Amino acid sequence: MTQPDKPPIEVPKDFQQAAPATPEGREDAHPHHHPQPYVAFEHVSKAFGSNKVLDDVSFFILPGEVLCILGRSGVGKSVSLQHIVGFLKPDAGRIKVAGEDITHYDDKEMQLIRRKVTMVFQNGALFDSLSVRENVAFPLRERGELQEDQIQQIVTGLLEMVNVLDMAEDLPSELSTGMKRSVAIARALAAQPEAILYDEPTTMVDPLIARLLGDLILKLKRQLRLTSIVVTHDMRFAERLADRVLFLHQGKAHFFGTMEEMKRSKDEILRQFLELDELVLPGA
Number of structural domains (the chain) is: 1
Give domain status of residue 170, yes or no.
yes
Is residue 273 within a helix (H) or strand (E), and if so which, with residue range?
helix 268-280
Give domain status of residue 226, yes or no.
yes
Beta-carbon count within 10 A of 151 CB: 20
Give domain status of residue 18, yes or no.
no
Give domain status of residue 106, yes or no.
yes
Give domain status of residue 202, yes or no.
yes
Give domain status of residue 17, yes or no.
no
Give domain status of residue 168, yes or no.
yes
> Per-residue pLDDT for the chain (284 aa), expressed as one digit of tens each?
444 444 444 443 433 333 333 333 334 444 445 679 999 999 999 999 999 999 999 999 999 999 999 998 878 899 999 999 999 999 999 999 999 999 999 999 999 999 999 999 877 688 999 999 999 999 888 877 789 999 999 999 999 988 899 999 999 999 988 889 899 999 999 888 999 999 998 888 888 888 888 998 998 899 889 999 999 988 889 999 999 999 999 999 999 999 999 999 999 999 988 887 655 544 44
pTM of the model: 0.81
CA distance 19 to 36: 10
Between helices 132-143 and 148-161, what is the axis angle to 10°?
130
CA distance 278 to 154: 42
Amino acid residing at 25: G
Q: Exposure string (b/e) for 34-73, b if CB count within 10 Å is 16 or more?
A: ebebbbbbbbbbbeeeeebbbbbbbbbbbbbbbbbbbbee
pLDDT, position 26: 39
Give domain status of residue 237, yes or no.
yes
Full domain range(s) for residue 85:
36-280
Beta-carbon count within 10 A of 202 CB: 24
User: Which CATH number do you get for residue 276?
Assistant: 3.40.50.300
Q: Say which DSSP state 17 is in.
A: H
Is 3:92 a contact under the CB 8 Å cutoff? yes
HEC sequence for 44-112: EEEEECCEEEEEEEEEEECCCCEEEEECCCCCCHHHHHHHHCCCCCCCEEEEEECCEECCCCCHHHHHH
Q: Residue 178 — φ and ψ, nearest 5°?
A: -65, -40
Q: Say which DSSP state 174 is in.
A: G
pLDDT, position 281: 47
> Any bridge partners for residue 100, and if so which?
97
Q: Say which DSSP state 165 is in.
A: G
Show the CA angle centred on residue 243, arms to residues 218 and 235, nearest 5°.
Answer: 80
